Amino acid sequence: MFKLKYSSIDLFSGVGGLTQGMHEAGFETKVAIEILDYAVKGFKLNHKKTHVIDKDIRKITSEEIREKLDGETLHLLAGCPPCQGFSSMRRLNGKNVRDDRNNLVLEYLRMVRELLPYTIMMENVPALKDYYLFKKVVSELKKLGYYIDIDVVNVKDYGVPQQRRRLVLIGSRLAPIKIAEPSKKKVTVRAAIGKMESITTTIDPLHKIIANHTVKVLDRIKLTPKDGGSWKDLPKEYQLKCHAKENVGFNDVYGRLRWDDYSTTITGGCLNPSKGRFLHPEENRVITPREAALIQSFPKNYKFPLDIPKQALALLIGNALPPAFSLIQSANIKTHLDKYLNENICLNKGASQSSA
């Protein structure tokens, strides 16, 4: 068996969740593209060997990227174009929201067309599947010779301790390829954060960051039943009027996580109890950034910038692709490359010998 070293590129890299999974699967991310300063700072803390191009992808040429690749073969081009324009909260009542970021899927296509990697991977929110530009991208990728597989999956089925439905696209120029099968390994909130040290004794600065609540909010938290309780369990005088409205998406706010179940989706509001079910299962506080990152399946030693606003930190964690999910998808692609690139090498070697 030939041993091949695989190179990858991470478009819209964020703080590096996708790259972390690719690295654990055996890829080396040569180039990452990210425009947000906070995300670039976080990415560089963990992936020092990757060339980070920190500007708008629409202003980046493929020549710039090839220069960073320095003649190396590109085996995998992966990326998660910003998806805020398709988020469920921005599409309440069935209304689509105009957002310039929706067009960034075309930049993904441009990079594939100009760099022609052996394999590709894209992750996004499920609503993208019905977007006309995404359908155009898929059509163009097939014209470029890529075998494509698309599905909406839930990361909880791939060893991540949270409910998070995502659209996944993978493709290959070598042969037909399928999205990785679910591992069906259930990882619970308890498994992710149950053994965390106290926030008062920890030496992890990321685990020391907690929200400062008003007395009334703290009382509301204390009254919320342990291990899965929510605002619905509170006395009426502690329930907010806005929560009583129907069909406004507030079912999980001020809710506690459940120890022996999956977390709800970790979002950019994960450090604010008014944004979702982000209260600790039994302690009277919201989860810390470290706990949110662990539920996202980041390694416990993964670094995040500490000199940024707490809301920016929450966005870095909540917007990331869970590394454990990226690992399984990337390992599936690596297995595909192992098989078909080695077959091509053997065929080419045999042809050379027969013609000698």
**Strands 147-154 and 51-53, sheet pairing:** unpaired
DSSP 263-288: BPPP-TTTT-GGGSS-B-SSSSSBPP
**Structure tokens of 182?**
């679910």
Torsion of CA 235, 224, 162, 183, to 10 degrees: -100
3-state secondary structure 102-157: HHHHHHHHHHHHHHCCCEEEEEECHHHHHCHHHHHHHHHHHHCCCEEEEEEEEHHH
> Annotated catalytic, 346?
no
The dihedral through the CA atoms of 42, 43, 49, 53 has a sign that is negative
**Burial tier of 99 (Cβ tally within 10 Å: 0-12, 13-18, 19+):** middle
The dihedral through the CA atoms of 86, 31, 291, 274 has a sign that is negative
Instruction: Determine the Cα–Cα distance for residues 308 and 47; give it in Å rounded to an integer.
Output: 19
Q: What is the CA radius of gyration of the chain?
A: 22
Which residues is 172 bridged to in the sheet?
Answer: 119, 147
- Point out the catalytic residue in the list 80, 83, 270, 346: 83
Q: Are 163 and 263 in contact (CB under 8 A)?
A: yes
Active site residues: 83
